[in-house]
Amino acid sequence: MSEENKPEETTVPTPPVGEDEKEECNAGSTSEGSVESKAEASEPPAGASTPATDAAAERAAARAARLAARAATEAGEPAPAGAATPASADAGSDEEKAAKAQAAAEARAARAAARGAKPESADPATPKEPSPNQPLLDRLVAILKAEAGEDAVVESFINERDAHRPYVVIHSSRWPQAALTLRDNAELRCDYLRNLSGVDQETHLEVAYHLLSLTHKHEYCVKVKTDREQPSIPSVADVWPTANWNEREAFDLFGIDFPGHPNLVRIMMPDDWVGHPLRKDYEPLDPEV
């Protein structure tokens, strides 16, 4: 293309800058410079220290002094001279720990005393209310003493944990007559033996009889104690047929003899088994059993 045919270049004129615009530009540059100078002024010098770094340095120095003093003590050497200052600095913290420990001990003692103290609402002068089954127990004891002998009842009490059940302990020599009284007396009518179980009390053996009156809907528990070395309690299998197998079980597992039983042989263990497994002094011959 020849130069004559080239299009003419157009230029856009630049508007003149006014005085106001010049001032705004100068002001912007001045403010930016002032912000930068402030930021530079706020930054600490490279070698300057802050309170946080000073505290960390002090803690590190104190720790190092304590370690040095401990090492010197273990080695039998005198502690460094600078070790006294950190120790004295830690004296306050040790006193605070001791004070906190004492306060905790006092709080524990106060809680223990509060637990041991009776509630304010409880009046120590107020007598304990009798059991609702106390009349049943009193009448049971009176009947047994009248019909089985004055010395028939060794002990009597109400077992509150067992639904306030009346309990009596009968002398073994009086047990046959006491059993008949319990079954045949019109006020008692204990015609059902619910359970019979042997118990090893370590100092002696005993048998517990749980009796039920189907007529009066009353329940009693009778215990008969016996010697541990030669345990023997008269059988009541002829009074309550339920006692037949139960006495055989007590004989098998506890070694209690029941004179008068029609067939007192083992019921669970083999006839040649040595010992009675439910006694607390039982030692099996075969450790795997």
pLDDT at res. 59: 76
Q: Compute the average pLDDT of residues 108-121.
A: 71
Q: What pLDDT, on the 0 to 100 scale, is given for residue 2?
A: 46
User: What six digits make up the tokens of 84?
Assistant: 């006294």
pLDDT band at 276, cuts 50/70/90? very high
- Token pair for 189: 């009518």
- pLDDT at residue 60, rounded to an integer: 75
Under the banding of pLDDT at 50, 70 and 90, the label for residue 124 is: low
Cβ neighbours for 136, distance < 8 A, ≥ 6 positions apart:
166, 218, 220
Residue 15 has pLDDT above 70, yes or no: no
Q: Which of 16-25, 31-40, 72-81, 260-269 has the highest mean pLDDT?
A: 260-269
Share of the chain above pLDDT 90, in %: 53
Question: Are 189 and 213 a contacting pair, CB within 8 Å?
Answer: yes
Is residue 34 over pLDDT 50? no
Closest CA to 144 of 214, 224, 200: 224
pLDDT digits (tens, 9 = 90+) for 154-176: 999 999 999 999 999 999 999 99
Q: pLDDT band for position 121 (50/70/90)?
A: low
More confident of the two residues 106 and 210: 210
- Which of residues 128 and 147 earns the better pLDDT score? 147
Evaluate whether 74 touches 67 at the Cβ level (below 8 Å): no
- pLDDT confidence tier of residue 70, bands split at 50, 70 and 90: confident
Q: Which of 39-53, 106-120, 216-230, 243-257 has the lowest mean pLDDT?
A: 39-53
pLDDT band, very low/low/confident/very high, at 117 (cuts 50, 70, 90): low
For the cut 80, the answer to whether the pLDDT of residue 39 exceeds it is no
Q: Residues 119-133: what's their mean pLDDT?
A: 74
Q: Which residues, including other chains, have CB under 8 Å from residue 24's CB and lie 6 or more apart?
A: none
How is residue 174 annotated by DSSP? G
- The torsion defined by the Cα of 83, 84, 85 and 89, in degrees rounded to 10, comes to 110
